[in-house]
A and B are shown apart, each in its own frame.
Chain A
Amino acid sequence: MNLFIDGIAWILDPANWSGTGSIPQRLWEHIWISAVVLLLASAIALPTGALVGHTGKGREFSVMVSGGLRALPTLGVLTLFGLWLGIGLGAPIIALVILAIPPLLAGAYAGFESVDRRTIDAARAMGMRELQLVGRVEVPLGLPIIVGGIRSATLQIIATATLAAYIADDGLGRFIFAGLKTRNYDEMLGGSILVILLALIVDGIFAITQRLVVPAGVRATRTRELRSRPARPRAVVGQPITEGNRE
C-alpha cells in the first residue's frame, strides 16, 4: 500500500510535470501513438471486415488470419521488427497494428453479420445499391458491435503501447522501463497508474459511444423484449427458426 501511495505521490510531484520527459509529454506521446495505431489498423481491418460481412465470403479466411495474428506475442514481434527497422517508432507501431487488427476485424464482420438477412434482402429488393445497403442498412444496424470491436482494440493498444518505450523514447512506458532499470519503483508504479487511468477514461468514453450508436428503432425493440424475455434463456424446443439466414 505504501508503494501505491508513493506511486501517486510521484505522479503528483510538480517536478515530474515539466521539462523533457515530463508526464504531460509522455502522456501526449502515448495518446498520439495509440491514435496513429488505431487509425492505421482501422484503415486495414474495418474495410476488410465490412467486405467479409457484406458478401459473406472469406469468413473462414479472416477468422483464420485474425486468430493467427492474435497468437503472435507482441513483444516478440516488436523485437523482430526492432532488429530489422532499428530504434524508433516504426517497429512498435507495426507490432501494435498487428495486435489491433483481430478485434477490429472481428467486430466489423460480426457487426455486419448481426443484421437480419431479411432486412437486407428487402432493402435490396427495394432497389438499394450495394453501397447504399452498406451505408444505410448494415453500418447503422451493426454499429454497436463495430464500435465494440474498436473499443476492445483501443484498450489493447493503450495497454500495450507501453512497449513502445522498449525500443523508442516515447510514451508512458518510459516511466515503467526507466523505473525498473534504476529501481525507482515510485516512478514505475506511477507510470503504470497513468496507463491504467488513461485506459479507463478512454474505455468510459467508448462505453457511452456504444450506447449512443444503438439505432432508435432498435432501442425501442430492446426495451420491449427485455420485459417479455424469460429471466434465463430457454433451450429451444424443436427446430430453431433458420429461415432467411445465410446458409
Chain B
Amino acid sequence: MIEFRSVTKQFPDGTVAVAGVDIVIPPRKTTVFVGSSGSGKTTLLRMINRMVDPTSGQVLIDGTDVATREPVALRRSIGYVMQNSGLLPHRKVIDNVATVPMLRGQKRRDAHAHALELLDTVGLDRSLADKYPSQLSGGQQQRVGVARGLAVDPNILLMDEPFGAVDPIVRAELQQELLRLQGDLGKTVVFVTHDIDEAFLLGDQVVIMQQGGQISQAASPAEILANPADDFVANFVGADRGKRALHVTELGGRRLVVDADGRPAGVLAS
C-alpha cells in the first residue's frame, strides 16, 4: 500500500506542482493518475521512488516513510517504466533488462537467464535479446521497458505515460498486454496518463488531477461516471457527450444503445 499524506511539492521557481494531496493506493491493484499536463501527476509518481522529494507531507510505502529510505536502494526495489522506454542505447536488450538485478549484485549469467524469461513474459521473441534498442520498433522497445521494470520482481511498478509515444494500434495491443500481465502478476501498479480512455480501461482506481496539483476525484471508473464529483470531472470524462452519453432506442423490436451523435454502440443484451 502506498499512502500520500498532505503532500505538497513546490519547485524552486515557485511553481506548485502538487498541492496537499491525500490518497491511498491499494496494493495489487492498478491506480491511474490522469490529468492534463501541469496537473502534477508525474511529480506524484516520481515521489514514490524519490526521484522527487516532497516539500512537505509524507509518502509512505507499507507504513514506512520513503524519506527514511536510501534513494538508490529504494529505486532498485521499485519497477519504473517511462515514455520512450528510456533504454540504454549502447546496451543490448538483454543487458538492459538485466540492468537492475546486476546493480543489485546478481551474477551476470543468472541475470541473463532471468532476463530471457522476462522477454517471454512480455511477449517478445528471445531472438531480440542480442539486438540494440535502436533496432527495435517503438512497441518492442516499450515491451523491453516493461520487462526491465519487472526484472527484480518488484511489488510496485511505476509507469509514466509508457504508451504515450506509440501509435494507437500498438498502444491498444500494449494495453491489453498490461491487463493480461497484471492479471497474472498482481503488482501494485501506479500509472500516469493524460488519456481518460486509457485510465478507464486499465485502472481499478482512477485519480483525476486538475491544474495546480489537486485531486478532483479518486474512485473506480464506474463510480466516476455515475457520480462525477464536480463539473470539472464530468467535463473531463465527457460523461455528458460523445461516446459516453449513451441512450437506448428501439429498432425492430431490439433495443439499441446509441451515443450522443446517434451512432450505434451496441445492442442491449436482455
Contacts and interface: CB of A to CB of B under 8 A. Distances in A.
Interface stretch (B22-30, B57-65, B85-93, B175-183): B85-93
B133 to A, nearest CB: 6
Contacts of B74: 127
Contacts of A118: 82-84, 86
A205 interface: no
Contacts, number: 77
B51 A217 contact: no
A130 to B, nearest CB: 9
Interface string B89-126: 11110000001100100000000000000000000000
Given A121-B86, A127-B103, A132-B103, A218 B51 contact: no
Contacts of B132: 216-217, 220-221
B269 interface: no
Contacts of B92: 217
A140 interface: yes
B134 A122 contact: no
Contact of A119 (B86, B100, B135): B86
Contact of B89 (A125, A132, A141): A141
Contacts of A127: 72-76, 100, 103
Contact of A218 (B84, B87, B100, B134): B134
A220 B141 CA distance: 15
Given A127-B73, A127-B100, A137-B88, A220 B135 contact: yes
Nearest to A224: B134
Interface in A122-165: 122-129, 132, 136-137, 140-141
Contacts of B99: 123, 126
A220 B134 contact: yes
B163 interface: no
Nearest to A137: B88
Contacts of A86: none
Contacts of B84: 118
A37 to B, nearest CB: 31
B72 A125 contact: no
A128 B72 CA distance: 7
B75 A217 contact: no
Contacts of A125: 46, 49, 51, 75, 80, 82, 86
A24 interface: no
Interface residues of A, number: 24
Contacts of B73: 127
A205 B88 CA distance: 28
Contacts of B134: 217-218, 220-221, 224
A58 interface: no
B88 A129 contact: no
Nearest to A132: B103
B66 to A, nearest CB: 14
Nearest to B158: A125
Nearest to A122: B86
A218 B84 CA distance: 16
B72 A122 contact: no
A224 B46 CA distance: 34
A215 interface: yes
Contacts of A224: 134-135
Q: Which of A125, A136, A221 gathers most chain B CB within 10 Å?
A: A125
Contacts of A121: 51, 82, 86
B90 A140 contact: yes
Interface of A: 116, 118-119, 121-129, 132, 136-137, 140-141, 215-218, 220-221, 224
22 contacts: A118-B83, A119-B86, A122-B82, A122-B88, A123-B86, A124-B51, A125-B51, A126-B76, A127-B73, A127-B74, A127-B100, A129-B72, A132-B103, A140-B90, A215-B90, A217-B88, A217-B92, A217-B134, A217-B135, A218-B90, A220-B132, A224-B134
Given A118-B82, A141-B89, A221-B134, 20 more contacts: A118-B84, A119-B88, A119-B89, A121-B51, A123-B88, A123-B99, A124-B51, A125-B46, A125-B80, A126-B76, A126-B99, A126-B100, A128-B72, A129-B72, A140-B90, A217-B135, A220-B134, A220-B135, A221-B132, A224-B135
